[in-house]
Structures are given as C-alpha cells and as structure tokens.
Amino acid sequence: MTNTNSIRSIAVIGTGVIGASWTSLFLARGLQVVATDVAPNAEASLRKFVETAWPALERLGLSPAASQSNLRFTADLAEAVTGANLVQENGPERIDFKRKLYGQLDELLSPDAIIASSSSGLTMSEIQSGAALHPDRCIIAHPFNPPHLIPLVEIVGGAKTSEETIRRALEFYASIGQRPVRLNKEMPGHVANRLQAALGREVYYLVTEGVVSAADVDTALCWGPGLRWGIMGNMMLNHLGGGHGGIEHFFQQFTAPTTAWWKTLGSPVLTPEVQKKLIDSVHAEIGSRTIEELEAERDDILLGLLELRSRRAQMVAPGEIAAE
C-alpha cells in the first residue's frame, strides 16, 4: 500500500461549493489537484472560488508548496484521475449515479488509490457496490461546509472497506490540518449532521410554538452553549459541568432534570404553514443584511476562532491537544 506521505496528487470530482472548497484546501496544503466537472463554466467558477478563498487560507497559514498554479482542470474524467493518489468525489446524492461513477473509477485508478466520497446522505456500503474490483479502497470522507475553513471530516467505511484504507484516510486528512473523526458504524447523516438535526428540531419547535423568535433562539445558542461548543464538545463540557466531581458528579446531579426535559422536546412537522412561520421569523432577524454580508461576518469571526485555537494548540503538549 502507498503510505500517507505519498498522497500528493488529488483528483476532485464535482466542483460545486464543496468540491471547490476542498480544492482550495488541497492547494493551500501544497498538493497537486486536477479537478473535473461537466457543468458549463465550471472551470471559471472554480478558479474564482479558489481566488476568493485564498486570503483566508493565507491568514490561516499556507504550506511551503502552496500555489493556485497547482490546479489543473479538465472535463474528461479519465484524464482527471490519471495518476491520482486520492479522489475526492462530490457528485450528486443519487445512488445510481454514484454506483456507476465508482465502477468507472475502480477501473481507471491504480488499486492503492483511495476513493473518498463527500456524501452526507448515502452510505458507503451502498456506493461501493459499484466498485467490483477494489471496493476495499472506498470510504466516506464527509466534510463540514466549507471544508477549507471547517476542519471536521467524518471518516466511515462500508461493509467492504479495509482497515488499511481507513487508517490511511485518517492519517491523510490529519496531515493536511483537518480534524478527522472515525465512525465505527454507518449511520444516516453520519454524526455532525445528526447532531445538527437534533438541535434544529427543537429550535423549530420553540419558534413555531411561539416560545421564542428566530433572533432570540439564535442569540440563546450562539451567546450561550455555542460559545462553549467552539472550545470543547458536549462530553468534555459535561465533565467540567460536574465541578471537581467531573462527569460522575454531573450524571448524579443532572440525569433526572435532563431526562425530564427530553420528555417535553418537540417533534414539529414542517408543513408549508410551519415553514412560512419559520421563514418570516428568520427574515425579521436578517433585516436588510445580504447573504454576502452574513457570510463575511461568519467567516471573519470563524477565522479568528481558528487562529485562537491554533495558537492554543501550539502552546500545549500533543497529549493535551488530543484531550480537547
């Protein structure tokens, strides 16, 4: 098997928002990238995205070999994947499309090349059934949008994925600065989207029940638990919430009230009427601000948090970083 350090040539299939963001990240890490997409004006749109994303990547720190000139584009799939060590696939969420594509890739690529899907809605066991020759090298590598800024990538194999492939994938994404997490079993929506869905369900319930407005529920999240979640995850925060007694004391103190709250959580049905109520409340929160203004605000604050976390990581021992 090829080792992680030899993964230097990446093929990106599909250059929409996720594919373009992956491309930007790979280029910033000094990798050679060949991108392919059959959509009209795909190359121009991709290069514009990379150029726009580059100042943020410079702010976070480029690898010595980073260069936008390391990007090639072709509409020909076979040409795009020639010599690739890893394929980052970002195609439509249609199982028939992906099975056919993985059959093509399986025949075109060398046996040790990893095929990684960004899919958030399909399982690798479904997808890899199209790869008759080497299904063992197929994985899900699901990012969080946009992957050039958000480091999370969820790694999960299918029924026929090898442990070696999972190990190599975990090492590769970590080597380019991502924070990979391994899922030990396949779940619809993986992990992060399931967490978002659980929270979103209660947010929608509280707004549609008139408990709170969209603006106030967003304030409650981003100025309350959201601030803490940008530093530590739920389980570590529970440990701190138990004081000197840690997680053990937390469960002693909060099991009863927490499980009581669970019984009252809502399950809203997103009918057109409910959606309109949510939409109207969101637009009241937005006011006159544009999507571009909101994105700029999000990304600027996010970059500040990433820089702060990076400085913190450089100050502590590796064992302490892993315990965050």
Write the DSSP string, 27-89. Answer: HHTT-EEEEE--STTHHHHHHHHHHHHHHHHHHH---TT--GGGEEE-S-HHHHHTT-SEEEE
Confidence at residue 243, expressed as pLDDT on a 0 to 100 scale: 96
Q: End of a domain among 182, 201, 228? A: 182
178 and 35 inside one domain: yes
159 and 215 inside one domain: no
Q: Is the pLDDT of residue 142 over 70?
A: yes
Region 232-246: what's the mean pLDDT? 96
Confidence at residue 2, expressed as pLDDT on a 0 to 100 scale: 43
**190 φ, ψ (degrees, to nearest 5):** 60, -135
Banded pLDDT at 322 (limits 50, 70, 90): very low
* Strand ranges for 101-241 from DSSP E: 114-117, 138-143, 152-157, 179-182
Confidence at residue 317, expressed as pLDDT on a 0 to 100 scale: 55
Angle at 227 (CA atoms; ends 22, 238), nearest 5 degrees: 105
**Residue 292 maps to a domain:** no
Q: End of a domain among 182, 210, 245? A: 182
55 and 98 inside one domain: yes
| Contact indicator for 46, 23 with CB cutoff of 8 Å | yes
**Residue 29 maps to a domain:** yes
Q: End of a domain among 117, 152, 182? A: 182
Confidence at residue 318, expressed as pLDDT on a 0 to 100 scale: 53
Q: Is the pLDDT of residue 312 over 90?
A: no
Region 209-217: what's the mean pLDDT? 98
67 and 164 inside one domain: yes
Record the tokens describing residue 110, joined without a space.
């060398």
Confidence at residue 41, expressed as pLDDT on a 0 to 100 scale: 96
Q: Is the pLDDT of residue 4 over 90?
A: no
212 and 174 inside one domain: no
> Judging by beta carbons within 10 Å of its beta carbon (0-12, 13-18, 19+), is residue 54 exposed, middle or buried?
middle
Confidence at residue 173, expressed as pLDDT on a 0 to 100 scale: 98
pLDDT in tens, 247-288: 999 999 999 999 999 999 999 999 999 999 999 999 999 999
Distance CA 34, CA 37 (A): 10
**Residue 236 maps to a domain:** yes
pLDDT in tens, 37-65: 999 999 999 999 999 999 999 999 999 99
178 and 196 inside one domain: no
Record the tokens describing residue 154, joined without a space.
């969820």
Record the tokens describing residue 156, joined without a space.
């999960």
| Contact indicator for 231, 312 with CB cutoff of 8 Å | no
Q: How many folded domains does the chain comprise?
A: 2
Q: What is the DSSP letter of 178?
A: -
Record the tokens describing residue 118, joined without a space.
């960004």
| Contact indicator for 27, 52 with CB cutoff of 8 Å | no
Banded pLDDT at 110 (limits 50, 70, 90): very high
Distance CA 157, CA 166 (A): 7
Region 220-246: what's the mean pLDDT? 95
Record the tokens describing residue 29, joined without a space.
């890490």
Q: Is the pLDDT of residue 323 over 60?
A: no
168 and 77 inside one domain: yes
Banded pLDDT at 319 (limits 50, 70, 90): low
- Rounded to the nearest 10°, the torsion over CA 183, 189, 195, 200 is 180
**Residue 311 maps to a domain:** no
| CATH classification of the domain holding 150 | 3.40.50.720
Banded pLDDT at 324 (limits 50, 70, 90): very low
Confidence at residue 202, expressed as pLDDT on a 0 to 100 scale: 98
Region 165-171: what's the mean pLDDT? 98
Q: Is the pLDDT of residue 133 over 90?
A: yes
97 and 236 inside one domain: no
**Residue 260 maps to a domain:** yes
**Residue 136 maps to a domain:** yes
19 and 150 inside one domain: yes
C-alpha to C-alpha distances, 251 to 60, 243, 246, nearest whole angstrom = 39, 11, 9
Angle at 169 (CA atoms; ends 166, 170), nearest 5 degrees: 85
Helix (H) or strand (E) holding 259: helix 246-262
Q: Measured on CA atoms in the order 46, 47, 52, 58, is the torsion positive or negative? A: positive
**Residue 187 maps to a domain:** no
| Contact indicator for 210, 204 with CB cutoff of 8 Å | no
**Mean pLDDT over the full length of the chain:** 94
65 and 214 inside one domain: no
| CATH classification of the domain holding 273 | 1.10.1040.10
49 and 141 inside one domain: yes
Distance CA 291, CA 40 (A): 24
Task: Give residue 206's domain range.
Answer: 192-287
Confidence at residue 313, expressed as pLDDT on a 0 to 100 scale: 81
**Residue 301 maps to a domain:** no
221 and 256 inside one domain: yes
Confidence at residue 316, expressed as pLDDT on a 0 to 100 scale: 72
User: Which amino acid would we find at residue 79?
Assistant: E
